[in-house]
Chain A
Amino acid sequence: EPEVTQTPSHQVTQMGQEVILRCVPISNHLYFYWYRQILGQKVEFLVSFYNNEISEKSEIFDDQFSVERPDGSNFTLKIRSTKLEDSAMYFCASSDPTAPNTEAFFGQGTRLTVV
């Protein structure tokens, strides 16, 4: 079964450093998403991406965040200058634009720890 893959599974970074989280969405999907989940809290939407541009973003997704599709397979989330409160699980997801009212597929997540 096709799946969304995320790397790394766990990343530790120092406060103030830049971090890039990587995702490989399902190959024929064209909608891509990032979510985060702070420990013990609910899963929160960050941003969606389609046709090489952001289609929707939440209040969380401020100027410290950016997304990119650098090539035909990867989708990345960059945090420019990490803060302690950025520590969370980050989930990538994708969906198929030719299949309306179907589901989003989620990766297994990257656990980001900012120290």
Chain B
Amino acid sequence: DAKTTQPPSMDCAEGRAANLPCNHSTISGNEYVYWYRQIHSQGPQYIIHGLKNNETNEMASLIITEDRKSSTLILPHATLRDTAVYYCIVRGINSGGYQKVTFGIGTKLQVIP
């Protein structure tokens, strides 16, 4: 799986959009970009994933650059409950549903009132 680079920490004002960047310059054509988060020692929580198109769900949007070497997770209106460590993970296509996750250090997002 390709390596990712994320800033160790970020702040965001409550109600504003939180934009979390991730570099994955060695990503290969069959690797997906996944985002998980972990709120204060709770279990990691899946957010979103994508291959090359931008994706949106009820939690967030994922913007992947055209060359796929970087991506941005966008929380459109951050709340205090979004304070967490956010992990960007690049993984190969897994047939059969095997979903081992290799976590890095992630970005600690602090949402400020």
* Bound complex: CA A109 to CA B106 (Å): 19
Which A residues lie within 8 Å of B97 (CB)? 30-31, 95-100, 102
Are B99 and A106 interface neighbours, CB within 8 A?
Answer: no
Are B100 and A103 interface neighbours, CB within 8 A?
Answer: no
Q: Does A91 contact B (CB under 8 A)?
A: yes
* Least CB distance, B67 to chain A, in whole angstroms: 21
Which A residues lie within 8 Å of B94 (CB)? 100-101
Sampled A-B contacts (25; CB under 8 Å): A4-B43, A30-B97, A31-B99, A42-B103, A42-B104, A43-B101, A43-B103, A44-B103, A45-B101, A48-B100, A56-B100, A93-B99, A93-B101, A95-B97, A97-B98, A98-B97, A100-B94, A102-B99, A103-B36, A103-B46, A103-B99, A104-B46, A106-B43, A107-B43, A109-B41
| A30 to B, closest residue via Cβ | B97
* Least CB distance, A110 to chain B, in whole angstroms: 10
Q: How many residues of A contact B (CB 8 A)?
A: 33
On chain B, which size bracket covers the interface? 20 to 34
Q: Which residues between 72 and 115 of chain A lie within 8 Å of chain B, taking CB atoms?
A: 89, 91, 93, 95-109, 111
Choice from B32, B42, B100, B101 contacting A109 with Cβ under 8 Å = B42
Which B residues lie within 8 Å of A98 (CB)? 97
| B45 to A, closest residue via Cβ | A106
Are B44 and A48 interface neighbours, CB within 8 A?
Answer: no
* Bound complex: CA A101 to CA B95 (Å): 7
Known A-B contacts A31-B98, A48-B98, A100-B94; A105 and B46 likewise in contact (beta carbons under 8 Å): yes
